Amino acid sequence: MKNLISGNISDAVYKADDKMDDIKLDKVKAIYSYQNGDSYIFSNPETWEEIELKGEDLGDALNYLEEEMPLDVVYYESTAVAVELPTFVEREIAYTEPGLRGDTSGKVMKPARINTGFEVQVPLFVEQGEWIKIDTRTNEYVERVKK
């Protein structure tokens, strides 16, 4: 288990009939603003309040963060504890090797680095400079996008 406030992780064993308290998490729409050292700053577009989270609180979201990106900040007891990304994001391929012609047997993939530095597997026909849609739940390529 992970303590949402302190970040401490602990092991525990429970029986099937043990009861747990329900946890109420609130979500607030926010926009990613900037990084300040290990802190990531988000702003609430309604109140312009700044929300600060540490890198370890963001998990896989770090792979997709870009300035002005809309997302949800998750709160537990009035403390920001995480962010929730949109299900799909569109990102530009910053670098990938050219695909080899003729290798079309099966689902052949190659690594590609998006403009945030994250590497994702894409089909051979995807080229540098193109935009792709990525499923943020699985970190997988979905399709090419026209921009």
Dist. CA 48–CA 15, nearest whole Å: 45
Nearest to 119 by CA among 100, 82, 85, 91: 91
CB 70 within 8 A of CB 64: no
Mean pLDDT for 40-56 is 94
Instruction: Report pTM.
Output: 0.80
* pLDDT one-digit tens code per residue, 75-120: 988 899 999 999 999 999 999 998 766 555 668 899 999 989 999 9
